[in-house]
Chain A
Amino acid sequence: MGAHPYVGAGVVRNEDAQLLTGRAIFVDDVHLAGTLHAAFLRSDFAHGRLLSLDTSAARRREGVIAVYTAEDLGDYWCHGPLLVPPPPIAGLTFNTATLVPLARDRVVHVGEPMAVVVAESRYIAEDALEDIVVDIEPLPVVVGLEEALAPDSPVIHEALGTNVAAHAVQRKGDYEAARSEAHTVVSRKFSYDRGVAGSLENRGILADWNPRNEELTVWDTTQAPIPIRNGLAERLGLLQSQVRVVAPFLGGGFGPKMMMFYPEEVLIPWISMRLGRPVKWIEDRAESFFATANERLQLHEAELAVDSEGRILGVKDVFLHDSGAYDPYGITVPINTQCTLLGPYRVPNYYSEFTAVFTNKTIVTPVRGAGRQHGVFVMERLLDFAAKELGIDRVEIRKRNFLTPDEFPHNHEILFQDSAPLVYDSGDYLPAMEKAAEMIGYREFLEEEQPKARDAGRQLGLGIVSYVEGTGIGPYEGARVSVEPSGKVQLATGVGTQGQGHFTTFAQIVADQLGVDVTDVNVATGDTREFSWGTGTFASRGIVVAGSACHEAAIVVRKKILALASEALEAAEDDLELADGVVRVKGSDLSISLGELAVRANPLRGTVEPGAEPGLEATSYFGPARGTTASGVHAMIVEIDPETSEVSIQRYVVVHDCGRLVNPVIVDGQIHGGVAHGIGNAFFEELVYDDQGQLLNASFMDYLLPTATDVPHMEVAHVETPSPLNPLGVKGVGEAGAIPVGALYAQALEDALQGAVEILEMPLSPGRLFDLVHGTPSDPEAAS
């Protein structure tokens, strides 16, 4: 084993055997004797006065143990935390309306919980929901974003007196001055809608209060077990050490399983404490559409000012953002939109203004990409229109505006979601664009393939777009590495895991430092008893922040190993090498195993030197100064059936830069999944609300996730510009694939249609495409 044999290699995953054989434990797989099952009564109305709830019949039903309404919660009823306070943007308006555990006198979206039934089985609990008599006086409903701001609009949160959740302006330079000198200004209105995260596993919580040792254990489908532990302890009046939160294997996260303190998440532990029994709630798919956060519509009015060569002089963007009924996650999503819009380009002047709006719909919080795709869509579309107007090739206009490697770090002079200035750490965009153009056969397509296809009556189009993505934000993560007497290594970290391969990539990082087999590094993650400090897995930060912490801790343990081995082998540290689980004096047979050293480091007799620590163990923390910037170029070729408007993807190319690759197979897998999610957003997925705030497609029958026949084979290549902000040189990749697909699809469609229509909206179904091309009216509900 040479130096760093694992980082950079596509090793198979340590966790797979468990997952493939059905042994892996997900939250609903935890069975505790005496468990009770909860079901929530949810509002059928989007907006209304909750006049009364009669739960008496439900309480009388056989098998029902308890029923709680807001009134029954007493002091426990309160507004939840503001999870991400907004960055300190000058002149910011921010109106807070955080979640409540159960609606008390108002319901503000369909599916808002009003009561919870606890019964011997979930079947009985659902029976009892039908026993509850609800009296709601419907109120006028706020659905559209522009309507929400109209002076005569009903107000959702009366105490705020407005439906404005936030208003923010971020500026760089002087856009108006730049505009006055522009050769060409293109301006358009855009609408970009997104949908659910769509984890195959819904949310779930099992809480077990043990009254004898006064400890609460909570199994939770959370991406952030430590913040949940801390928040629950505070809310329940317990010590943090009395609460253990376990996020076991999770069936996907994609954002909405972050530290949300959802109503169910704060109620189930409280109920377990009241009843002294384990209580489980497993979200079903029907409730997930209403009860779990998603992303939705933004409406943009944007313009791009360029000189005669197509060089960007400035961008102005004013947009509305749908917050849904509450805004517990602050303004992370629209801030991401604002910051990601700038892309890989040199934008000397920028004016960006958004208004986040409360509506009578499920809350909006980050979903894979988290507002970034909206920004990329606006910028890439504007560049396409500018290129067309100036007669410049679309690849060429992008190349002319790319930041060059000598411009890094590049400060965009606005604030990012982590409240730090938006500074790109590193990047090299031109090679990625050239590689993507080469892989997709850009020139050959435009000069040969497309004209030939057009002559044959076929509609073939190509898209090629680029984007950057802020990843790997702080504040910090930690890791503890310890060598056990067996010679195997235990690695603990606080972030949860939802399929990213942490059991393998973290092990690779540590195995390289300690010279052990990657399968001999056992990773514990997502259990607050294993590791008590950190935030969680979101914002494409796992490998960047937690991975770096693993690296740092492993380096400290390596030093301890070498120091101890130097004594044991009576050799200078410089003469030692770590490989195959032993420390060896270079060029000799003299060696000692890590297990033996671990035993020596923890003696039963004798003395440990003053100031020394027992064991071969270290805990380290890593906190980046700010996020690191990943980037990419995607290209696709589509064919439209001119008669049916069906669209098929012929080719899909990704050139991505996430710095150094820890495990290229896993990285490619992350990109594949992201692209598939993006294809869903572009082609299939849309939450369709009617004018009463009713969701019309709350099932997997009607809300369409892409299947194996909808996602094409993807060709993925990499450019590697290491990040200077962490010791591994890595950048995040979890969200990347999902970000540019809408912009890409729009460009490819326009190209196929030879500019017959401008694509200013996403998603775009074949039916909507047909209506756009033929000027026929789409269904009013579907168009809302």
Chain B
Amino acid sequence: MKPAPFEYRRPDTVEEVLHLLAEYGDEAKLLAGGQSLIPTMNFRLAQPAVLIDLNAVKGLDSVDEADDGGLRLGAMVRQAAAERSALVAEKVPLLAETLPFVAHAQIRNRGTIGGNLAHADPRSELPAVMLALGASVRVRGPDGERSIGAGDFFTGFFGTALEEGELLTEVVLPPAVEGGGQAFLEVSRRLGDYAMVGVAASVVCDPAGRCHRASIALLSVGSRPMLAEQASACLVGERPSSAAVLAAGHAAGNKDIDPQADMHASVAYRRHLATVLVRRALTAAFERAGCVMGEGAS
């Protein structure tokens, strides 16, 4: 389990990275935290000819409040740094709540926010959080800078909307809104494993106590993290109730997702877990939003 040889480059600036990407094209791989890439290289399942190490690039590891009150996370912010950041806890509690589920402490000490998103593992927690929060990523490429919404970013199994030569530089999270509440839940075989199913839910209630918005993102239920649209439809415009979140759970588990079986979970089990977790996550999210849940349909 030793990696194949590669050429190693360690640029200092984003410009240099872009230059190297242009030079090497798909022969090159970007090395962020490396906690998914290096195991794959050790198994020799990945054998990039060139490795462009982003760890020396300046300006990619800051955590800042955005002008609109949201949060800007540099792509190279370590997961552990985000987990410990008071600003993250204040501005994006859902992210702070979710990070401890990402592998183990030693992995989070190296693993980065941007690396995790660009890897786009459908079993990963952070992509689902980004979807639920309506986050976007900023990327820089040969044609300049652009922004991609999370909903457009994850395109398929380990696939993203990043074009050749582009670098994910920043994650932008929208500000919290009044009446909002979020929750993250997952069921995994062991603490730190990829979940069999996970749910990130973000809801917003209007002053009258009706659900104004419900974003329910699931992981490990298909080829990419996905938003449960039919589940949301059970809630939006309604007064949250145990019957409504139950219906949303069923919609998510039975209609929204397209799970596959693997050695840990059958299709039926995944659908069932999604049903349960969506209901539970929504219940917690509405509670945090300060919404009083009714018993039945309003």
Contacts and interface: CB of A to CB of B under 8 A. Distances in A.
Is this pair of chains taken from one and the same complex?
A: yes
A127 B2 CA distance: 9
- B44, B263, B264, B276: residue with the most chain A Cβ atoms closer than 10 Å: B263
A699 B40 CA distance: 11
Contacts of A779: 261-263, 266
B212 interface: no
B105 interface: no
B190 A704 contact: yes
A645 B193 contact: no
A122 B1 CA distance: 9
Contacts of B189: 684, 704, 765-766
Contact of A767 (B44, B192, B196, B276): B196
Among A286, A684, A767, the most chain B Cβ lie within 10 Å of the Cβ of A767
Contact of A771 (B39, B43, B191, B268): B268
Contacts of B264: 765, 767, 782
B193 A767 contact: no
B5 A781 contact: no
B273 interface: yes
Contacts of B266: 767, 770-771, 776-779, 782
Interface string B2-38: 1111000000000000000000000000000000000
Contacts of A644: 187, 273, 276-277
B272 interface: yes
Contacts, number: 79
B190 A710 contact: yes
Nearest to A697: B263
Contacts of B63: none
Contacts of A710: 190-191
Interface residues of B, number: 27
A127 B4 contact: yes
Nearest to A37: B2
Nearest to B4: A127
B268 A770 contact: yes
A285 B1 contact: yes
Contact of A702 (B44, B263, B272): B263
Nearest to A696: B263
Interface in B219-256: none
A533 to B, nearest CB: 38
B265 interface: yes
A707 interface: yes
B248 to A, nearest CB: 15
Given A127-B4, A770-B268, A776-B268, A688 B263 contact: yes
A16 interface: no
Given A770-B268, A770-B272, A771-B269, A126 B263 contact: no
Nearest to B39: A701
A127 B5 contact: yes
A130 to B, nearest CB: 8
A645 B196 CA distance: 12
Nearest to B276: A643
Given A127-B4, A782-B263, A709 B191 contact: yes
Contacts of B43: 286, 699
A782 B268 CA distance: 14
Interface string B95-129: 00000000000000000000000000000000000
Interface string A692-711: 00001101011010110110
Contacts of A123: 2-3, 5
B117 to A, nearest CB: 20
Interface in A631-685: 643-646, 684
B1 A286 contact: yes
Nearest to B192: A707
16 contacts: A126-B2, A643-B276, A644-B187, A644-B273, A646-B187, A684-B190, A688-B263, A699-B43, A701-B39, A706-B190, A707-B190, A707-B191, A765-B189, A771-B266, A771-B269, A782-B262
Interface of B: 1-5, 39, 43-44, 187, 189-193, 196, 261-266, 268-269, 272-273, 276-277
Given A123-B3, A710-B190, A782-B263, 11 more contacts: A127-B5, A130-B44, A645-B269, A684-B190, A702-B263, A704-B189, A709-B191, A710-B191, A766-B269, A779-B263, A782-B266
- Sorted from nearest, which 4 A-B pairs have the closest CB atoms? A776-B268, A779-B261, A284-B1, A767-B265
